[in-house]
Amino acid sequence: MADEVILLDYWASPFGMRARIALREKGVKFECREENLRDKSPLLLQMNPVNKKIPVLIHNGKPVCESMNVVQYIDEVWSGKNSIFPSDPYQRAQARFWIDFIDTKVYEPADKIWSTTGEVQETAKKDFIEALKILEAELGDKPYFGGDNFGFVDIAMTGYYSWFEPFEKCANFSIESECPTLMASAKRCLQRESVVNSIPNPDELFALALKLRKEYGV
């Protein structure tokens, strides 16, 4: 029986992008269903009743929720090609630690950078760069967080890398000047085929940010 793989998604979401990238890294055929986050589909509410958020991967009718949970699931089910998560227990623990760091210390200020102004935005910029510098130290001189291979932490960050240009424009700063090595790795990630096919044009993301800022009266 052929696998049925559906991804409930939202085009601009860094979390949705992670799931798309993982599926394409593995060469999995999937159906991407775009959600209107202001009018969520009955399917989304049924498949993720707890958080009602995308991405949700529905594999042969069974839902998997939370982006990095989805990525790990994809890696374990389609284990033949392009391993995402390391096999060594300590490397895995390190990868999970950094995912948690990214989804708290990077996520929280990132969300404020595009949606606020003034002092709140300035503080968010400072916190964002601080978090990126910690990540840059962890990266060291490796091409990817996964070492020679594009891996779990790289996929997690790539969702945010796609938003770097819009952040810079919204808040008038340069991430590259603060974190050159991280940016070099980011550019490497953004050139990967699975990524090119999975992330929107930064101009489209910037246009969305401006539209929402206007709506919020920012």
Task: Give the span between the Cα atoms of 69 and 51, in whole angstroms.
Answer: 14
The residue range among 20-28, 69-77, 163-171, 190-198 that interacts with other proteins, by the rule CB under 8 A, is: 69-77
Phi, psi of 59 (to 5 degrees): -105, 115
Picking from 90, 87, 99, 202, the residue whose alpha carbon sits closest to that of residue 149 is 87
Is 160 a binding residue for other proteins by CB under 8 A? The answer is: no
Number of residues that bind other proteins (CB under 8 A): 21
Residue 23 Cβ vs other proteins, minimum distance, rounded to whole Å: 14
Interacting positions 38-57 with other proteins (CB under 8 A):
50
Is 62 a binding residue for other proteins by CB under 8 A? The answer is: yes
Task: Give the span between the Cα atoms of 15 and 20, in whole angstroms.
Answer: 9
Is 96 a binding residue for other proteins by CB under 8 A? The answer is: yes
Picking from 192, 93, 176, 88, the residue whose alpha carbon sits closest to that of residue 136 is 176
Nearer to other proteins by Cβ, of 58 and 199: the residue is: 58
Q: Which of 42, 80, 89, 140 binds other proteins (CB under 8 A)?
A: 89
The residue range among 67-75, 153-161, 188-196, 202-210 that interacts with other proteins, by the rule CB under 8 A, is: 67-75
Residue 160 Cβ vs other proteins, minimum distance, rounded to whole Å: 18
The strand pairing partners of 32, in sequence order, are 7
β-bridge pairing 31-34 and 5-9 = parallel
Task: Give the span between the Cα atoms of 191 and 189, in whole angstroms.
Answer: 5
The residue range among 31-39, 92-100, 112-120, 160-168 that interacts with other proteins, by the rule CB under 8 A, is: 92-100
Is 97 a binding residue for other proteins by CB under 8 A? The answer is: yes
Is 66 a binding residue for other proteins by CB under 8 A? The answer is: yes
User: What angle is formed at CA 199 by the lines to CA 64 and CA 57, rounded to 5 degrees?
Assistant: 10
**Residues present in the chain in total:** 218
Residue 172 Cβ vs other proteins, minimum distance, rounded to whole Å: 28
Q: Which of 10, 11, 101, 107 binds other proteins (CB under 8 A)?
A: 101
Footprint of other proteins (CB under 8 A): 50, 59, 62, 64-66, 69-70, 72-73, 76-77, 89-90, 92-93, 96-97, 100-101, 134
